[in-house]
Structure 1
Amino acid sequence: MAQPKLPLDLVDLILSTLSEVRRRRPDLPLKSPGGGPSVRHVAITLLQGRFGRPPNTWSSRLGSIRGAYLAAWTRAEAGQYAPGEVGERSAEPVPDIPGAEAGEAAFERTLADDVKLHRAQATSEAARVRLKEALGEISRLEAELGDYRWARGARLAPPEWTVKRQVGDKHAHIPVLMTSDFQIGEVIRPQETDHTHGYSVEIFRRRYRALIAQTIRLCLDHQPSWTYPGIIYERLGDTISGGIHDELAETDEVTPIEAVQIAAEEETAGIRALAEAFGRVLVQDCGGGNHDRDTHKPRSKAATAHSYDRLVSYILQREFKDDPRVEIFTTESPDIVFRVYDRTILATHGDKIGSRGGQGFIGPSATIARGAQKVIMEQQALGRRIDEVHLGHFHTFTDQDFVISNGCLPGYSEYAKLNRLRPQPPLQVLAFYSPTWGRVCTKRVFLEA
């Protein structure tokens, strides 16, 4: 039998629900032939939960509305329907609904009570729906704005001073400071490692500030005849401890958010000091490491979106957005590639180089070399020549010509003691590049006596 005429308020409610589901779940199909999740299925479930009617009743009403209000229906399918948009009903007759039962009239009588209530609350309900839509739109725009902010630091062309040869100036060099594995928040107790060095937030601050001061001194005092067009500051991940293991969650001194705040404070001051000393700073950020993640297990997809290090990077971008001396390059890949004169460098944290292990008598050196070679071969297959790989992660300094592995700020830890690893003092790496000879000097910046 022919369906009774539906009240416009009810039509508006159904179309609004359908449109809201489409906006919130753009990944769902409109209708799933196999009966799986779909926009219609979710909309029917919402309406059933609100009014308590059988699903086939709402399915029938959806069919009626589609036939009678095709234009509004099409907008609802696309998630563009605005509440209150339905005006006069189409002159087209409402088609018969196969399978309609005789009890429909009783349903209409009962539903009328709900429609009256809906009309009585029209103003507040419309305001509520519009508020929901506005909040959804704000959420969507914030996500897009976050991507734009993140992309703001990315450029297609490197700064000219990093690739331009200074004609006639044989003293020109570019220093590259590798920073990684701060693991802010971790607590190391010397009495558990039989070693003189411990670690805490206070010790991190002291060592990081020493790193900046030592870098400036090594460049300007130890190499007084060299000139520098600027300095490159690599961020290679594991900025915070992150509490990624149960024992770290139990013993870390601060939460990940507090560690982010500490990192942002110290790195802002450090980069500003480098800008004052060298005139220009180029920050190359590889997007974080394995300790920075906010998930229990490492991720392959959207890894940087789940990294606290990305938040630190965004804060640094915001702090230096009006400072022409500082440029920040970021990436959503585990790697960031850049040039220093004629050398092409790939910087990465080190946990995704396709090579693990390294606890034998040779230490991690073989693992690092094997992983760096895999990275170079992969990049070559992608059509890109890589001269050097810079990485952290292994907490061990090695220099194998085609790969530099950075040290760490915490130094010898309980984990290293457990695995009988060879102790190295807390250090970071400072490398110097010549326009003629490439990398001519690699210095360890020691942070504890």
Structure 2
Amino acid sequence: MASDEEVIQEITTLSRQLSKTKTERDVLRAQVKELESDLDVAEARSQLSTRLAGHTYKPPTWLTRKPKKSSGVVCTILSDTHFDEIVRPEEIGFRNEYDRKIAVKRLKSYFQKVILLTKDYITGINYEGCVLFLGGDIFSGDIHEELTETNEDTMLGSVIFWTEQIQAGINLLAEHFDYVHIPCVVGNHGRRTRRPRMKLRARDNFDWFLYQTLEERFKDNKKVTFDVASGADLMVDVQDTTYLLTHGDQARGGGGIGGIWPPLMRLVARKRNNTDFDYMVLGHFHQLIMAPSSGFLLNGSLKGYDEFAAIENFAYEIPQQALWINVPDKGILWQTALLVED
């Protein structure tokens, strides 16, 4: 018969084995969950590759046909959302806070206010449709170690989650407007590499993959069309006005007394060396500056003030996005900010 000491030793051994087995089980469960997520993305990518092989883009006819003088098109840009980045209020003087839960609320507020403003406030115009510019930096990504360490989810998990959220917002727009057109460019944060790249800039970016996934979701909806850029820029014709959509990271400088204005004016001038457009639409700098008379519309950020802005001593800016009305002969007639925090 075993002694008490031997029984205790056996119980201890079995307890350790049980604990080890439970740990291994939890690890395997996590691996299975991650593999299932990878499989979902791989299947979606396979479907996209098949569809893209024969893809050709044709602008929707409602955007380019001869407009009526009483008509207009609602234009808005969604960019610099930096989904699944964590901003801790205690690190920035409690000026802002950001996580997935807050981002969902702000995204919902953004889409709802596009409809609210055009339905109840900017009236008397026959809206032919809505152009939703997607300007990049939808995700914060893994381009810095600190982001990899603190992001709320992996990139694959983020793509799956936020595809559903943005799809819901586009559906809301499609319920309100006769047509919704969505031009898309990638940002610098969604890239898969730590260093920026020139070749395959778009196709190696998670923003691009999100856009393609959304386009696939709406392929049977005749009211919703996409134009996903293969490069850094995209020309967008709205009635008789031409926009150049770009993320904005091609602008350099901004640290002098003139602030961001000199780099933006230089970028507008350089772009016009090779392309003909009326207005450049961009984001990247998390500052809302709507200056059509100077040739550009600079978008704000859904994320808002963060640790980088605080450490660099940038001026505080509330989370906001841009909206404007395009009309025939005049281009941008009316412009405003969409405040997404409340």
TM-score (norm 2): 0.82
Q: Give me the whole-angstrom Cα distance separating, in 2, the residues matched to 1:216 and 1:145.
A: 33
Percent of pairs identical after alignment?
A: 30
Name the structure 2 match of 1:412: 305
Residue type at the aligned position of 1:439: I
Q: Give me the whole-angstrom Cα distance separating, in 2, the residues matched to 1:365 and 1:247.
A: 30
Are 1:304 and 2:202 matched, yes or no? yes
Q: Give me the whole-angstrom Cα distance separating, in 2, the residues matched to 1:392 and 1:151.
A: 30
Please report how far the alpha carbon of residue 235 of structure 1 lies from its aligned counterpart in structure 2 after TM superposition. Answer: 0.8
Residue type at the aligned position of 2:100: V
Equivalent residue runs for 1:119-138 within 5 Å: none
Name the structure 2 match of 1:398: 289
Name the structure 2 match of 1:425: 318
Please report how far the alpha carbon of residue 281 of structure 1 lies from its aligned counterpart in structure 2 after TM superposition. Answer: 0.5
Q: CA RMSD in A?
A: 1.9
- CA offset digits 1:191-228 (Å, max 9, x no partner): 21114321101111000000000000111110221121
Residue type at the aligned position of 2:327: S
The 3 A distance-change label for structure 1 pair 392 and 153 is farther
Q: Give me the whole-angstrom Cα distance separating, in 1, the residues matched to 2:306 and 2:45.
A: 39
Name the structure 2 match of 1:162: 63
Q: Which portions of structure 1, spanning 4 or more consecutive aligned residues, are displaced by more than 2 angstroms?
A: 142-154, 163-167, 359-363
Q: Give me the whole-angstrom Cα distance separating, in 1, the residues matched to 2:217 and 2:249.
A: 29
- CA offset digits 1:385-433 (Å, max 9, x no partner): 1111101111111122211111011101110011111111001111111
- CA offset digits 1:346-402 (Å, max 9, x no partner): 1011113xx3121334332222222122112232xxxxx111110111111112221
Name the structure 1 match of 2:166: 267
Please report how far the alpha carbon of residue 301 of structure 1 lies from its aligned counterpart in structure 2 after TM superposition. Answer: 0.6
Q: Give me the whole-angstrom Cα distance separating, in 1, the residues matched to 2:170 and 2:264.
A: 28
Please report how far the alpha carbon of residue 264 of structure 1 lies from its aligned counterpart in structure 2 after TM superposition. Answer: 0.5
- CA offset digits 1:235-278 (Å, max 9, x no partner): 11111110211111111111111111222011100111000000
Unaligned runs of 5+ in 1: 1-141, 380-384
Are 1:329 and 2:227 matched, yes or no? yes
TM-score (norm 1): 0.63
Name the structure 2 match of 1:199: 98
Please report how far the alpha carbon of residue 151 of structure 1 lies from its aligned counterpart in structure 2 after TM superposition. Answer: 6.2
Are 1:240 and 2:240 matched, yes or no? no
Name the structure 2 match of 1:345: 243
Please report how far the alpha carbon of residue 166 of structure 1 lies from its aligned counterpart in structure 2 after TM superposition. Answer: 3.8
8 Å Cα contact 1:430-1:445 kept in structure 2: yes
Between the two structures, name the one with larger relative contact order (CA 8 Å, sep ≥ 6). 2
Are 1:371 and 2:267 matched, yes or no? yes
Name the structure 2 match of 1:389: 280
Higher strand share: 2
Please report how far the alpha carbon of residue 447 of structure 1 lies from its aligned counterpart in structure 2 after TM superposition. Answer: 0.9
Residue type at the aligned position of 2:192: D
Are 1:293 and 2:229 matched, yes or no? no
Please report how far the alpha carbon of residue 186 of structure 1 lies from its aligned counterpart in structure 2 after TM superposition. Answer: 0.8
Q: Give me the whole-angstrom Cα distance separating, in 1, the residues matched to 2:159 and 2:217.
A: 14
The 3 A distance-change label for structure 1 pair 346 and 148 is farther
Q: Give me the whole-angstrom Cα distance separating, in 1, the residues matched to 2:165 and 2:218.
A: 14
Residue type at the aligned position of 2:241: R
Name the structure 2 match of 1:446: 339
Q: Give me the whole-angstrom Cα distance separating, in 2, the residues matched to 1:445 and 1:291.
A: 23
Q: Give me the whole-angstrom Cα distance separating, in 1, the residues matched to 2:53 and 2:136.
A: 19
Unaligned runs of 5+ in 2: 1-43
Please report how far the alpha carbon of residue 344 of structure 1 lies from its aligned counterpart in structure 2 after TM superposition. Answer: 1.0
3-state SS in 2 of match to 1:230? strand
Name the structure 2 match of 1:282: 181
- CA offset digits 1:311-370 (Å, max 9, x no partner): 111211111011111011112111111111111111011113xx3121334332222222
Which has the higher Rg, Structure 1 or Structure 2? 1
Q: Give me the whole-angstrom Cα distance separating, in 1, the residues matched to 2:282 and 2:306.
A: 20
- CA offset digits 1:119-148 (Å, max 9, x no partner): xxxxxxxxxxxxxxxxxxxxxxx9997455
